[in-house]
Each structure stands twice: as structure tokens, then as C-alpha cells.
Amino acid sequence: MNFDLLIFCPFMSTMYERMLQLPIFQGLGYEQLTEIIEKIPFSFHRYAAGETIHMAGELCDCVLFVLNGIVQQETPTFGGRINIVQEFSGPHTLSFYYLFGAETRSISTLKAVDRVGIMQVEKTHFLKMLQKNSVMLVNVMNMLSTHAQKQHVAMEFTGQNDPTLRLASWLLAFTDRKALHTTIVTSCEAWQSLLRVNESSFWRCVSVLEGRGCIESSGNGILKMTDRYALRRYVGEKTLPKW
């Protein structure tokens, strides 16, 4: 048994339960998980509130799992003009989508909001796990496919004449449903450019989504998501075929 694991958490059953809640390990049993832990060198780290876990631009050569605590992830998009700030509570997987592909440096900065426990596994060992366990391999393939499909769906709405639908679709595609809190930090001008609308049209879009309880606005282009399911309902109503 990994000695570091015993030091990190004296209650092994609690540790196992948290690990089994991670999407990558879902479907495994205690015996399978024990076998993986005995053979794969995981490392464990603690971070105090405010400490940086991973900086944007750093090489993504390992997978990070949040076992406990809350982590803030800040991700720039739209040429750096829009920042997506999200908070995640453990158990949660981080830095996963930059392990493979042409770009292997994460664009996100990760910071601890409170006391955070991180489990880490290097890319080479992560690949060994997938090679030896078909359940984990299917889980990873499902995660990658879902991630790719989500943003593809959003792109289908970029040509829509309804700018409110474009805004709602963008918010769903570029944020994570598992986030505790999501705030889009940008300017009114950036939204206008992204949605291809003037200022008054943008604020009408915001007013519609605020009226549905989906978001809150600070009045300067910063949007806070308040009800993701209400946002999904809105998009569904707008895109369902009318018989």
C-alpha cells in the first residue's frame, strides 16, 4: 500500500469513497482501486488558501485530482478578452484535457480557495492505468467525447439570428456543469464583439436571461451564472422543433 496515502488521510474508507466518485474511477470496485493504488505511484499535496496549484502556460504532464477543498480555475478565452472564473469542490479532476493533442500547456490558472488536498499522477503512469483497465479507458473516452461535443454544439448556434440564444449557448458550452460558482469577467464591449450585437441589444439579452433566473449582471459586462438548469431549459425551449 502507498505509504503516502496513509499519511495523507488516516481514514482509508473515506479516501476510497472520494476517489470512486471521480469520473475516471467510476464503475470500479474497492478491490480494483486497491490494486491500482498499490501499483501506481500517486503523490499527494496540500495547499493553503490563496496558494497557486498550477499556473497558465505550465506544461501539463500530470493529472490532478481534487480530493477535498475548493479550487478556483481561471481560464482566458476569446483572445484573453474574456476570463471564465469557476470554483470546484472535491472530488474533481483537473488539468485533464491538456494531456494530449498539439497544445500540452494548460491555459488555466488553478488556486486554492481554502485548504485543498490534491492527488497527482504523472502522464506516463496515467496511461499505464488506462492500458490495464478497460473501465477507466471507457470513462476517459467518454469524458473526451463529451468535452468535444459540448463546444461543437455551441458552434452550431453562432449563426443563429437570436443573440440571446447565442449568449446562452456560449455560457453552457464554455463553463462546467460541476462548478460551484461561475463568473464571466469581461467588458460589455467584448460581449458585443463576441455576439455581434450593439450595446442595447446585448443588455436586452442579459435582461432576458436575468428574467429567467439564469444569470446576474454587475452592470459592466461581468456575468454570474445563478441557475445552469434554467439556462439549459431556455436553450431547449428555443431549439426544440415547433410542431
What would the pLDDT profile of 117-163 be if each residue is shown by its tens digit? 999 999 999 998 888 888 988 988 888 887 777 665 555 555 567 89
Examine the domain organization and report whether 166 and 216 are in the same domain. Answer: yes
181: left (phi over 0), alpha (psi -120 to 50) or beta: beta
- 54 located within any domain: yes
- Overall number of domains in the chain: 2
Range of the domain at 215: 157-239
Query: What's the Cα-to-Cα distance from 149 to each of 142, 152, 158, rounded to whole Å?
Result: 10, 5, 15
pLDDT band at 224; cut points 50, 70, 90: very high
Q: Which residues of 145-175 are buried (b: 16+ CB within 10 A; e: fewer)?
A: eeeeeeeeebeebeeeeebbbbbbbbbbbbb
Identify whether 76 is part of a domain. Answer: no
User: Are residue 120 and residue 191 in the same domain, yes or no?
Assistant: no
**140 and 162 share one domain:** no
In a domain, residue 216? The reply is: yes
Asked whether residue 96 is assigned to any structural domain, the reply reads: yes
Confidence class for position 242, pLDDT limits 50, 70, 90: very low
pTM of the prediction? 0.84
Are residue 200 and residue 113 in the same domain, yes or no? no
